Amino acid sequence: MNAISEKISSIGVVPVIKLNNPERDAVNLAKALVAGGVPVAEVTFRAAGAATAIKLMSENVPEMLVGAGTVMTTEQVDEAVAAGAKFIVTPGLDIEIVKYCQEKGVEIYAGCTTPTDYHAAYKLGLQVLKFFPAEQSGGLAKIKAMAAPFPMFKVMPTGGISLGNLGEYLSCPTIAACGGSYMVTADLIDNGKWDEITELCKKSVEIVKEARG
């Protein structure tokens, strides 16, 4: 794994964030995550202000490692990188976007859940994959099964991850980190519950430590 993947893996959990009001919430949220020991974020392009949120987080909380999620086009790659994104996450395996990021030297985590996805990712030279949606696609049992023919990959499952199953996932050596939105729900963000977000991050960090010994 490269330096960005190593850092994400060392943190162990990646908040997956949708911000409806980035001008109001982005900096406060970034500070809350850092205070909780989780200085990383995947800001999804499911919200219109994603690039603004990435820029505000990157510039105002420089210790944050900020990436862009739900990236669907090469134009969004450019927009995210220009805003300060250090990594790109796609919901599926889009070969055009993967090659585009590789040409630009931008780390990309492509969504893969099937042997066909994994095989294509292998040919593209990827090392770390997003496994999405994790629970709905077979969860940890499928991730372990897929690791048999594809032991070269580390995986970042996202979708259905919670405090309840985070430790079980992270105890598997195939898992680089887990993506989750349980610590950054719309209720927590829209109502400015920054202390609660920090506490959820702290609980997550403890689970990471316990799972990895």
Question: Which residues are annotated as catalytic?
Answer: 42, 130
Collapse the DSSP code of 95 into the 3-class scheme (helix H, G, I; strand E, B; otherwise coil) and give the result.
helix
- The edge-to-edge listing of strands for the beta sheet with 13-17 is 107-110, 87-90, 65-69, 40-44, 13-17, 178-180
Cα(175)–Cα(144) distance, integer angstroms = 9
Distance CA 197, CA 106 (A): 29
**Rounded to 5°, angle at Cα 145 from 207 and 211:** 10
CB-count exposure of residue 3 (10 Å: 0-12, 13-18, 19+): exposed
Asked if 172 and 131 count as a contact pair (C-beta separation under 8 A), the reply is no
Judge contact between 177 and 13, C-beta under 8 A: yes
Taking only Cα atoms into account, the Rg of the chain, rounded to an integer number of angstroms, comes to 16
Q: Which amino acid is at 156?
A: M
